[in-house]
Amino acid sequence: MEKWSSLSRLNDEQFRRLTGVQRGTFAKMSEILAAAHAAKKARGGRPNAMGVPDMLLMALEYLREYRTYFHVGASRGICESTACETIRWVEDTLIKDGTFRLPGKKALLQSHAPIEVVLIDATESPVERPKKNSGGGIPAKRNGTR
């Protein structure tokens, strides 16, 4: 289901309110993703049913509205795992490119320009949890020490 084609009727302000980015930024992101998608496609494999603008729009929707992968996938007619993989691919590709990378902490501290915007990353991040072992506890207890 292509949502990208339905956004052409929105003016620039409505587009920015919906996606969180301006049209020019969206176009630049789409160019970066299209180049990476073409390289990915050249390696072979099953083609993605969604176009690059729709994949980017889905990732921006996820980041902007903080919906679950299930809800984002259901609104697009795809499964939760496909939504997760697609959003991760979009994020990773844009991060690797570096065009939209913010300056580091040292660069901000050395700069004499006043800070006008504070950005907080509140996206989900995977948490490593300890593995559950079947014995549980001290090895002496498992051996039945008398």
Residue 2 has pLDDT above 70, yes or no: no
For residue 63, tell me if it sits in a domain. yes
Rounded Cα distance between 73 and 62, Å, is 10
Q: How many domains does the chain have?
A: 1
Token pair, residue 50, equals 């969604």
Give percent above pLDDT 70 in the chain: 84
For residue 139, tell me if it sits in a domain. no
Sequence length of the chain is: 146
Rounded Cα distance between 1 and 71, Å, is 15
Question: What is the tens place of the pLDDT at every residue in 83-105?
Answer: 999 999 999 999 898 887 777 77
pLDDT of residue 143: 59
For residue 130, tell me if it sits in a domain. no
How many Cα atoms sit within 13 Å of 145 on the Cβ side?
5
- The overall average pLDDT reported for the chain is 80
Banded model confidence at residue 120, pLDDT cuts 50, 70, 90: confident
Tell me which residue range forms the domain holding 86.
4-110
Q: Which residues contact 78 (CB under 8 A, 6 or more apart)?
A: 49, 50, 86
For residue 36, tell me if it sits in a domain. yes
For residue 129, tell me if it sits in a domain. no
Output the pTM of the full model: 0.69
On whether the CB atoms of residues 11 and 19 are closer than 8 A, the answer is no
On whether the CB atoms of residues 7 and 15 are closer than 8 A, the answer is yes
Question: What is the tens place of the pLDDT at every residue in 63-84?
Answer: 888 888 899 989 888 999 989 9
Question: What is the tens place of the pLDDT at every residue in 25-64?
Answer: 899 999 999 998 888 877 777 777 788 888 999 999 898 8
pLDDT of residue 11: 87
- Least Cα distance to 75 among 94, 92, 61 occurs for 61
A 10 A CB-CB count for 135 gives 9
pLDDT of residue 14: 87
